[in-house]
Amino acid sequence: MNEPERWKKIVEILNKRQFATVKDLTEILDSSPATVRRDIAKLHETGRVRKVFGGIALAGGAAPEHTPAKPFEANRLIHIDKKEAIAAEAEKLCQDGDSIIVLGGTSCFLFARRLAGRGIKICTNSMPLAACLFEQSACHLTVVGGELHREPGILYSPDTPAPGFYASRLFIGAQGINGSGLLESHPGVVRAVNALQEQADEVVVLADSSKFAIKARHISLPLSRISTLITDAGITDEDADMLRGAGIDVVIAPTPAPDE
Q: Tens digit of pLDDT for each residue in 97-113?
A: 999 999 988 999 999 99
- Delimiting residues of CATH 1.10.10.10 domain(s) in the chain: 3-64
- Delimiting residues of CATH 3.40.50.1360 domain(s) in the chain: 74-253
What is the SS3 assignment for 39? helix
pLDDT band at 139 (very low <50, low <70, confident <90, very high): confident
pTM, 2 dp: 0.72
On the 0-12 / 13-18 / 19+ scale of CB atoms within 10 A, 192 is buried
The one-letter amino acid at 197: Q
Assess whether pLDDT exceeds 70 at residue 61: no
pLDDT band at 224 (very low <50, low <70, confident <90, very high): very high
Assess whether pLDDT exceeds 60 at residue 46: yes
Exposure string of 79-115, with b = 16+ CB inside 10 Å and e = fewer, is beebbbbbbebbbebbeeebbbbbbbbbbbbbbbbeb
The pLDDT, as a whole number, for residue 91 is 97
pLDDT band at 125 (very low <50, low <70, confident <90, very high): very high
DSSP 198: G
* CATH number for the segment(s) 74-253: 3.40.50.1360
List the single range of 10-24, 70-84, 239-253 with lowest mean pLDDT.
Answer: 70-84
The domain 3-64 is placed in CATH, from the list 1.10.10.10, 3.40.640.10, 2.60.40.1180, 3.40.50.1820, at 1.10.10.10
Assess whether pLDDT exceeds 70 at residue 132: yes
